[in-house]
């Protein structure tokens, strides 16, 4: 749930990038940071383990600006994708307003995508939240690898594997090149707005 | 209230459009161009990406096989061959130690692969550029070797075959993987002593490698 500070009229939206290890979650944030830093004027914080893997999380906060009297701030987080870091994933997931599930389109990691989505479902359940109700967007990453002859899952296959029941917005993407990275981000922020407005209304009533 | 909600959403969306408007220029993060028709390293690249994901015997054997095959087809190339030799050596190290491989081994493997790809794919690359790239990789490779030796000396618990770090003779056309056997020792019951002996062997190997590389550089 978005953090609302009625005194300062500040609203924080927390977006978490979830998905299997090496799927491109950090690359998404790095792209956003590198490409739009002159506009978002922010710093990205990364905690890496050996071999450049995300140990705890990456964190990229930025201000959207003033909207109808509220200062809107967005915080992007990634979770470590490796299976062994589930406790960290759960902690980072706490209070998420929206989730971007970054799936890896490489055929060899098909099962890992499904396992990671199942893991998201379970971790949300631990917080009494339903994956069907949380604002969620799928990003099918690494689509650019097709040009190099690397066997990939088709968009349709990925949709069938991951999104056949959830039916949420999805984007084929290349986080490395930036294809659909901004679109994914814009979409997930937009999806969080209805619940944010509900919370703002509650604040007004209280 | 609905009208207010719409105004709120519209305002946020328009700010987002402005904030994340993309021009045609590519971001700094983009590393490589990919206008590739026939891609000579497609199998090796797929395997490197798989290693990035998971290290198994099957993947590592495939990797070593592909490197060996490429070595054969590039045996007369003075830049590609040493790069492949180093790739093979780091691959052997990862194959042997898997998740206990040195933390930088995967990084060096990726860096070696990127350089190899650059040398093979970029047709207009000058010999000077190739040599610079090669020496940069040799430096990184040597640094990795040094790190492995020192970390072994410092605190890696002794196990049979634990210190079998492949040590290629980089810079040499004939160089390759020369797996080291643990030093024969009458003190094999004493792990501390074994560790010291193994460390000495590794140091000797490192010095030998340095001299060989130096000799090669002097020849050139």
The complex's ipTM works out to: 0.83
Q: How far apart are CA B51 and CA A86, in angstroms?
A: 22
pLDDT, tens digit, 9 for 90 and up, residues A54-89: 556 688 899 988 887 888 999 999 988 777 678 888
The nearest alpha carbon in chain A to B40 belongs to A148
The nearest alpha carbon in chain B to A41 belongs to B19
Please give the tally of structural domains in chain A.
1
The nearest alpha carbon in chain A to B44 belongs to A150
Contact status, residue B79 vs residue B130, Cβ threshold 8 Å? yes
CB contact A60 to B (< 8 Å):
no
Question: B89 pLDDT exceeds 80?
Answer: yes
What is the residue whose two structure tokens read 């592909």? B66
Q: Is the pTM of this model over 0.80?
A: no
Helix (H) or strand (E) segment spanning residue A72 = strand A70-78
- Residues of A (117-136) whose Cβ lies below 8 Å from B: none
Whether residue B188 is contained in a domain is answered as yes
Whether residue B14 is contained in a domain is answered as no
Residues of A in contact with B52 (CB under 8 A): 22
What is the residue whose two structure tokens read 């650059």? B118
pLDDT, tens digit, 9 for 90 and up, residues B107-146: 899 899 989 988 888 878 888 888 899 999 999 998 888 8
pLDDT, tens digit, 9 for 90 and up, residues A14-49: 999 999 988 999 899 989 998 998 888 788 887 665
Average pLDDT over residues A159-173: 96
Structural domain span for residue B174: 40-219
For CA atoms A43, A47, A48, A54, give the dihedral sign.
negative
Closest residue to A36, CB basis, from B4, B19, B52: B19
Residues of B in contact with A106 (CB under 8 A): 49, 53
Question: Whole-number mean pLDDT of chain B?
Answer: 71
Predicted pLDDT of residue A18:
95
Closest residue to A51, CB basis, from B11, B19, B106: B106
Q: How many CB atoms lie within 10 A of CB A126?
A: 10
Q: What percent of chain A has pLDDT over 70?
A: 91
Please give the tally of structural domains in chain B.
1
Q: How far apart are CA A166 and CA A188, in angstroms?
A: 15
Could you tell me the two tokens for B114? 């990127």
Predicted pLDDT of residue B125:
85
The CATH number of whichever domain residue A9 belongs to comes to: 3.40.50.300
Alpha helices in B54-190 (DSSP H): 57-73, 80-97, 105-121, 127-154
Structural domain span for residue A10: 3-205
Higher-confidence residue of A163 and B206: namely A163
Whether residue B208 is contained in a domain is answered as yes
């Amino acid at each position: 749930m978005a953090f609302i500070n009625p005194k300062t009229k500040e609203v924080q939206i927390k977006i978490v990038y979830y998905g299997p290890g090496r799927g491109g979650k950090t690359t998404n944030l790095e792209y956003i940071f590198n490409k739009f830093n002159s506009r978002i004027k922010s710093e990205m914080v990364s905690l890496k383990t050996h071999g450049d893997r995300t140990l705890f999380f990456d964190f990229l906060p930025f201000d959207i600006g003033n909207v109808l009297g509220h200062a809107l701030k967005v915080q992007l987080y990634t979770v470590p994708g490796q299976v062994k870091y589930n406790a960290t994933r759960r902690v980072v997931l706490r209070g998420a307003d929206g989730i971007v599930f970054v799936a890896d389109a490489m055929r060899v990691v098909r099962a890992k995508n499904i396992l990671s989505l199942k893991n998201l479902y379970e971790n949300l359940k631990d917080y009494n939240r339903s994956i069907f109700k949380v604002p969620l967007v799928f990003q099918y990453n690494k689509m650019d690898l097709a040009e190099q002859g690397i066997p990939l899952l088709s968009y349709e296959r990925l949709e069938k594997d991951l999104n056949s029941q959830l039916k949420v917005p999805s984007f084929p993407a290349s986080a490395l090149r930036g294809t659909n990275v901004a679109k994914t981000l814009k979409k997930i922020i937009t999806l969080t707005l209805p619940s944010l407005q509900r919370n703002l209304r509650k604040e007004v009533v209280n | 209230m609905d009208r207010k909600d719409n105004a709120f959403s519209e305002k946020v969306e328009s700010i987002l459009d402005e904030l994340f408007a993309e021009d045609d220029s590519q971001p700094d993060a983009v590393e490589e161009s990919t206008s590739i028709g026939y891609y000579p390293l497609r199998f090796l690249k797929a395997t490197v990406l798989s290693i990035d994901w998971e290290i198994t015997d099957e993947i590592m054997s495939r990797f070593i096989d592909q490197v060996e095959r490429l070595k054969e087809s590039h045996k007369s190339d003075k830049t590609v061959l040493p790069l492949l030799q180093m790739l093979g050596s780091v691959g052997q190290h990862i194959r042997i130690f898997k998740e206990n491989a040195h933390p930088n081994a995967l990084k060096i493997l990726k860096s070696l692969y990127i350089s190899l790809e650059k040398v093979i794919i970029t047709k207009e690359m000058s010999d000077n550029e190739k040599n610079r790239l090669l020496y940069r990789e040799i430096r990184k490779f040597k640094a990795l070797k040094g790190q492995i030796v020192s970390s072994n000396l410092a605190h890696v618990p002794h196990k049979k075959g634990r210190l079998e770090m492949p040590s290629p003779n980089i810079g040499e056309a004939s160089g390759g993987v020369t797996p080291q056997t643990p030093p024969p020792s009458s003190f094999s019951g004493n792990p501390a002593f074994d560790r010291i002996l193994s460390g000495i062997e590794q140091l000797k190997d490192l010095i030998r490698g340095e001299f060989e590389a130096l000799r090669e550089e002097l020849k050139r």
